[in-house]
Amino acid sequence: ERAIELEPWYARSYAILGSAYEGLGKNAEALDHYAKYMARASRNDDMKPMVQTRLNALTSTGGK
C-alpha cells in the first residue's frame, strides 16, 4: 500500500497487492487492485496474462 501511495502510476504494485489480497481471501479488494493494474500497465507488460487470468477467475466466481 505504501508503494502505491508513493508511486500511484507504477502498475506492478497493484498486481502484487491484488495477489496478496487474493491470498488472504479478500477477493473484492483483489479484483479492485487487479483492475487498477490493468488500467495502468503497458500493453506488453509481462504480468498482464497472469493478472487477466486471475481477473477472469475471480469474476467468474462473482468475486467470492
Query: What's the whole-model pTM score?
Result: 0.89
**Averaged pLDDT of the chain:** 94
Q: Determine which helix (DSSP H) or strand (DSSP E) holds 57, and give its type and residue range.
A: helix 48-60
pLDDT tens digits, residue range 24-44?
A: 999 999 999 999 999 999 999
| pLDDT at residue number 36 | 97
- 62 pLDDT more than 80: no
Q: In terms of Cα–Cα distance, which of 6, 53, 2 is closest to 30?
A: 53
Examine the pLDDT at 63 and tell me if it is beyond 70. no
Q: How many CB atoms lie within 10 A of CB 6?
A: 9
The answer to whether residue 64 scores a pLDDT higher than 70 is no
